[in-house]
Structure formats: structure tokens, C-alpha cells
Amino acid sequence: MSKIHALSEQLTNIIAAGEVVERPMGVVKELVENSIDANATHIEVMITQGGLESIVVSDDGQGIDPEDVALAFKRHSTSKISHHDDLLKLSTHGFRGEALPSIASVSNCICITNNGESATKAHISYGKTIEIAPTFASKGTTMRIEGLFLKTPARLKHMKSIPYENALILDVMQKFALSYPNIAFSLTIDDKKVLETRGATLEDVIYRIYGKDVAQHTHYFEAVHHDFKVKGVIGAPHLHRASRKDMVVFTNSRMIRSTSMSKAIIEGMASYIPKDRYPFAIVFIEMDQHLLDVNVHPSKWEVRISKEKELQLWLSQTISQVISKKPITKPVVLSPIQSEYHEPLSMINELDHSMIHQSMPSMHSNVMEVKEEKITSQPNEPKRATVLAQLHKKYILASTHEGLIILDQHAAMERIRFEYYLKQYQDTQHMSAKLMPLVIEDPKALLLKDELIQTFSLINIHVEQLHEHALVIREVPSWLTQVNEEEVIQDVVTLLSEGTMRKQDILHRLLATLACHSSIRFNDQLSMAQMQKIVDDLFLCDQPYHCPHGRPTMMNVTLETLYKEFGR
Ligand code: ADP
Ligand code: MG
């Protein structure tokens, strides 16, 4: 008896679904792409229970003709291409004709569509057609997906928490909104509207997604090469992020994941941000369709770009030119010095030194508040390294009895601040409160509310729900100074939404994040006194040689090496 047989259509669709729609976010992506391909101007998405209970995508696009509805749910049926040549000049997101049959094979799917003349309803449940019949509806298409993966338990097992799935969906919707600012998008998760754009400009979308601080500190750019065009926005260096998440790249309006394009952005910004941090950048690359192969993976996240190396180099040079012409430090808002408040270093130069009279008694005292006369009275004078100069506003050169040490100023300061925060965390008597109502409206933070509350409670920061669309922090421990709380929250949200914060690492990551945000940066000009304070404080740390992320804080060149190299 023959052992080989063709698989049933239902089974091939389920297999395809594994690649096309790995998780609820994939379903949302495919359905919204169909709405965009149908020239919709309004696209509304509603999610319940991370998309596992239901996903509804409604659009006002051109709809599906009644005679095509059944076909739309058949594998490899598409209205978007007909000939091989069409693959070389694709202008639509879809072309494989796989999404609808795949989705309908792993869910209970109801489609209501109107092409402007007549309306049709199709009900397909886990691959079986239940009904296709005329109905009433306004122009456009509504796809309702229920009970996703309910009958494919292996797939269901891959799902992470509901907030995590929600965060992925929000992320993909934000990318659609960025690449199609002219379309009005809305996303409602469990009855809460978490994204709403008006179909206006990119500036408007950036403001709505990332908020005022980002919107005010982004630089728009455009450049042309003989094969490529690029435009987009780069965030000022201080907007650096904990992960690659806010480096968003589109090729011919498709969101893609591309290691080489991410590298180009990172390289372009390399001189301006710390090594283990990532730039904020939204980059739209346009090229002739002949140079772009999108038929690489069913979910279409990956593409093949001809002349990719050339593009990578040009993009990185373009970004580096753009950023080199912009002011690179964050404008500082002056506020009066209070008794236990310690001003950021960047402000010290601008302030009357007579105002700086506070000093913290702790051994990891605040490096920001430098008193010139203190330097001459350091107790550990045999151990001391004496600062010689600052190199390129990035490194501190200091002489020791063994030779020369070169310190990475940001890494050194991170170590000092990290140990300072660790000590404060362990030493609960410093827990009096500093009042600072801070309202958090970031939709991603709201989705991850419970995780956020738990994480911040570790360091006695109490996050509460203010109202449906906002959380609030009313007070922070008084030792938590110099930190830009909004940046820290943004980082923690990013780490939580990526699932990269392991429970056992949370406290370390949180303290490292605080340390990073309260440290002087690469490219901050320092006075001799400030540098000496950093060096002295670093040598008082328990682990002076590495920053909290494990990178070295200093290098040394011994006198012996110098004698040898100079042939003495
Ligand atoms: P593809 O997008 O690759 O063509 P799909 O399975 O996603 O394949 O969709 C099949 C077909 O159904 C599309 O080619 C299109 O003609 C039609 N279709 C799907 N969604 C919509 C929609 N929202 N509006 C209009 N037509 C749609
Ligand atoms: Mg499609």
C-alpha cells in the first residue's frame, strides 16, 4: 500500500498558519495589511484577552466582491498578483494569498464585507465553511477572529502572558501608524483605547505615540542616493534606549526586521550614545522594487535587499552627518537647589559655585556636587590617581604610581551610582519621600501596569492608577535624585514589554537603569575637579573595574609597557 498521500487542505492551512500567524500579533498584522491594500482610510482594531478571545479589524476599504468571498479563504488565492513579473513590482503588502485561509483554519472567523454594491457574510470555523450569504453592512470589511489557536494547543502553549501579547500588538499597530500617517488607526484593548491617530502627519503620529519629549527632540532628515532614497527621524542622543525596539525601519512602507539596517543606525550614532544603548530612529527607505525581494518569509518581516552593503554604509554615513550637525546635549531646565537635592553635573558649570554647598556623607557621595577644595583633602592619598586631562569629552586620563589609566567617564560614573543606589536600597532609613507627582500616560506602560507596579515597588516607588488612561507616581524615596524618572520608566517599560527582564535580574537591572540615567554622559565636558571626584569615588567602590552592565570602566598603560615600547 502506498504510504505517501497529499495532505488535506485543512491540514496544509494549519501548517501554513504556523509560519504566517505565529501569534495574535501576526493575525493583526495580516488583517491590517489587507485593509491597507484595500485602500482603507480608517482602520479600527479591537482586541480582547491578548487577541486569544477575539480580534476585530474593521476598515472602510474597497471590500470583497460577493463572488470572490469564498475564494479569498482558499489557499494561494489573491487579487494582488497574476503573473511572475508582478512579483518584481509589488505595490501591495499581500501577494501570497495565505493569510485568510491560515487564520480561518486556526480560529472561528467571521467576515462581513461590502464592495460598495452588495454585502456578504462568511463564517469559517477552524477551516470548515459554515456559511457564506448576503447580508447588510456599510462599505468596507470587518474581520472577526475568535478563539484563536483554541484547537491547536501546541501553538497556544507558545503564548506568553496577555500583557506581553497585547504589547506586541500595540507595537505592530504603532509601526503601521508611523508608516501610514495618512490613515487613521485606532487600537482598543479590553475596552481601552490605547492608540488613536488622525490620518494626519508623521509629526502628529510621533507625538501621539512617543509623547512630547521625544517629539520635541527628533530631527527630520531626507537624503538621496542613486539607488535609494531615505527619510525619517533620528532622536537626539539623550533619547537613547535600553533595546533596539525604537529603531524602526521600513522598506517601501513595509515594516522589516533587518540586522544590517539596525547596524547602520547604531554605527551612525555610535559616537554620541553609550555603547550598550540604542538610538531612537524611524527610517523609511525607498528603492526600486527590483532591488527588494519581499518573498523571503511568509510573515514578511524579512526582506532581501540587493546592494545591501552599499545601502548600509550610505545609511550610516547619512545618519552620522545629520546628527553631527545637531546640538548633542539635552537642554537643561534650571531649578533651584534645595537642601537635599543634588543637581545634575551638566548644570554645575552653569551655576554659581557658591550655591553648591551640600555634600552627602555617604562614601559613595554624589559625584555631581564637586567642591574644589575637597580634592586636596582626600584621605586615601597613596592609592590616589591624579587626573591629567579629559580626552574627546569621553575619557578621563589619570596618572597612578604604576602608569596611566584611561577611564570611560560614563561607565565609571554608572558604577559609582549603581553602588550608591544599591546601598540606599539596602539602607531603608533613607526612605523619606520626595514629592513629585509624575503622570504616566504611555499606553504600553498602562498595558504592563501590574508588572510596572511590582517592579517599582522593589525600590519603594509606588505607582498607582490615576484614572483609566494614566498611572501616577506621587513620591519617590528622597535618595532618588538626579534621575529623569520619565526616562527610567520608559526603559523599564521597554524591558518588561520585551520580556527581557528576568525576575531574578529585576532589581539589578532597575538599579543599573537608575545609575545610567543619573550618570554623566559621553560627550559631557568635565572640569578637573569633577573628573577627580569621579576617579576618587570609583576607587572607593566595591567593584571599581566594571560598570553594572559588565563593561570595563578603565584601561591602564603601565610604565613598564611604556619603557618597553620606547625601547628603554
Ligand atoms: P493576500 O493579501 O496575500 O492576497 P489574503 O489571504 O490576506 O491574501 O487575502 C486574500 C484576498 O482577500 C486578498 O487578495 C483580497 O482580495 C481579499 N481581502 C482580504 N482582506 C480584505 C479587506 N480587508 N478588504 C478587501 N479585500 C480583502
Ligand atoms: Mg493579505
CB of 26 closer than 6 angstroms to any ligand 1 atom = no
pLDDT at 493 over 90: no
Cell numbers that stand for 440 in this block: 504616566
DSSP string, 40-68: -SEEEEEEEGGGTSEEEEEE-S----GGG
Measured in Å, residue 99 CA sits from the centre of ligand 2 at 5
What length is written for the chain?
568
Which stretch of DSSP H or E encloses residue 560? helix 559-565
Q: Is the confidence at residue 380, as pLDDT, over 60? A: no
- pLDDT tens-digit map of 6-33: 888 888 888 777 777 889 999 999 999 9
Rounded-to-integer distance, Cα 118 and Cα 116, Å? 6
Report the chain's mean pLDDT, rounded to a whole number. Answer: 83
Question: Ligand 1 centroid to 68 CA: how many Å?
Answer: 10
Q: Candidates 36, 56, 100, 110: which one to mutate for ligand 1, based on the most atoms within 8 Å of Cβ?
A: 100
Residue 371 above 80 pLDDT? no
Which superfamily does 356-568 belong to?
Answer: MutL, C-terminal domain, dimerisation subdomain (3.30.1540.20)
Query: Phi first, then psi: what are they for 388, rounded to 5°?
Result: -105, -45
- pTM score over 0.75: no
Q: Which of 27, 20, 45, 67 is nearest to 141 (CA)?
A: 45
Q: How far is the CA of 11 from the centre of ligand 2 (A)?
A: 20
Question: Assign residue 202 a region: left if phi > 0, alpha if psi is -120 to 50, beta otherwise?
Answer: alpha
Ligand 2 centre to CA of 247 (Å) is 25
Q: Give the per-residue pLDDT at 504.
A: 61
Helix (H, G, I), strand (E, B) or coil at 231: strand
Cell numbers 552592565 label which residue?
A: 549
Instruction: Answer whether 300 contacts ligand 1 (Cβ < 6 A).
Output: no
Ligand 1 pocket, 118 CB below 6 A?
no
pLDDT at position 344: 28
Whether the CB of 34 sits within 6 Å of ligand 1: yes
Strand (E) or helix (H) holding 490: helix 485-497
CATH fit for domain 9-196, picks 2.40.50.140, 3.40.50.20, 3.90.1150.10, 3.30.565.10: 3.30.565.10
Statement: residue 64 has pLDDT above 80: yes
Q: Which residue has the higher pLDDT, 333 or 505?
A: 505
Q: Which residues, at least 6 apart from 160, have a Cβ–Cβ distance to it below 8 Å?
A: 499
11 DSSP β-pair partners: none
Region 93-109: what's the mean pLDDT? 92
Per the DSSP assignment, residues forming a β-bridge with 286 are 229
Q: What are the residues whose beta carbons fall under 8 Å from the beta carbon of 111, sequence distance 6 or more?
A: 64, 69, 72, 73, 100, 120, 121, 122, 123, 124, 141, 142, 143, 144
C-alpha closest to that of 309 among 290, 291, 335: 291
- pLDDT score recorded for residue 352: 27
The residue-averaged pLDDT of 387-396 equals 93
Cell numbers linked to 283: 527610517
Which residues are paired to 187 by β-bridges?
A: 45, 195
pLDDT for the residue numbered 502:
65
Tell which CATH architecture fits domain 211-328: 2-Layer Sandwich (3.30)
Ligand 1 contact, 75 CB (< 6 A):
no
- How many helices (DSSP H) and strands (DSSP E) are in the chain? 18, 22
Task: For residue 57, give the ligand 1 atom closest to its CA.
Answer: 23
Domain coordinates of the chain in residue numbers?
9-196, 211-328, 356-568
Least confident interval from 182-196, 198-212, 515-529: 515-529
CB atoms within 10 A of CB 107: 28
Sheet containing 228-235: which strands, arranged edge to edge? 218-224, 228-235, 281-287, 247-251, 254-256
What confidence tens digit (pLDDT) does each residue in 236-281 have? 888 889 889 899 999 999 999 999 999 999 999 888 887 788 999 9
